[in-house]
Amino acid sequence: MTHPIEESDMPHCRIIHIYWVAFLFAALLAAQGCAVAPYTGRNQLMLVSPQQELTLGNQAAEQVLHEEKVVRSGPQVNEVQAIGRRIAMVADQQGYQWQFYVVDDPETINAFALPGGKVFVYTGLLRVAKSPDEVAAVIAHEIGHVLARHGGERLSNTLLAQVGQEAAMIALGDMSPTATKAANVAFGLGAQYGYILPFSRQQEYEADYIGLMIMAQAGYDPRAAISFWQTMMQQDKAKPPEYLSTHPSDRNRIAELERAMPRAMQYYQNSRRM
């Protein structure tokens, strides 16, 4: 016969929960630095596997493909796919399922990548890009996010913070299951689509840097990245395009690109000799 937990037993149970959550918190902290971002060498907290990222990315891609008007063929599709594949070949990372899509929305200046290798470019962005090199700058930036596993990193940091929050809630007697929402928060659910990541400024700069290097290695002029962002600066300053909503300021971004340009130009010159 089971006995109900008496009120006097509750503090003891709560202490056990607190110690258990504290143990998990310590385990997560010990996992910091278990991944290294390519090209920059930055240590990352990574608590999710590439396969888990791929699964989340595929789920989100299905939603986008269902809800958006995706262009299936035509010159814009051919251009985006050719540029994307060329850059992905240079990246030469195993385990990614690179696919490049064009979304028919001429009013939206946007592009995004999902964990695992799905990249979406809006026709509105293609409208403002002045050359294939500028399109390459955008696609390379998005590939940079994927290569650096920024989605998994953001989820990992959210999980880590969530464990600490759970410990505090348990101490206060609140046992609500908020930890189950961690992945949704990390991948930006509540935005237009699930799993579209609101990257941090640090991750944006890192994707800029990686993108600059891989577009140059693929034979695209890295200076086009600067000209593209200069064009974006002129786009409706009263209401920045969606693509800029979580990005660093244009001036800071261009300054960082200029700082990295000498190395990128070396890659570019080498690619032209091949």
By annotation, the residues acting in catalysis are: 142
Among 228, 262, 265, smallest CA distance to 247 is for: 228
Q: CA–CA separation, 198 vs 188, rounded Å?
A: 6
**To which residue do tokens 């258990």 refer?**
20
What six digits make up the tokens of 98?
């690179």
Pairing of strands 99-103, 118-122: parallel
Phi, psi (rounded to 5 degrees) for 16: -60, -45
CA–centroid distance for 45 within its chain: 14
Distance CA 104, CA 122 (A): 6
Q: Give the pairing of strands 111-114 and 118-122.
A: antiparallel
Residue 70: what residue type?
V
Residues 6+ apart with CB under 8 A from 112: 119, 120, 142, 196, 197
Q: Which two tokens stand for residue 141?
A: 């930036």
CA torsion sign, 119 to 120 to 123 to 124?
A: negative
What whole-number distance in Å separates Cα of residue 210 and Cα of residue 140? 8
Question: Percent helix, strand, coil in the chain (nearest 5)?
Answer: 60, 10, 30
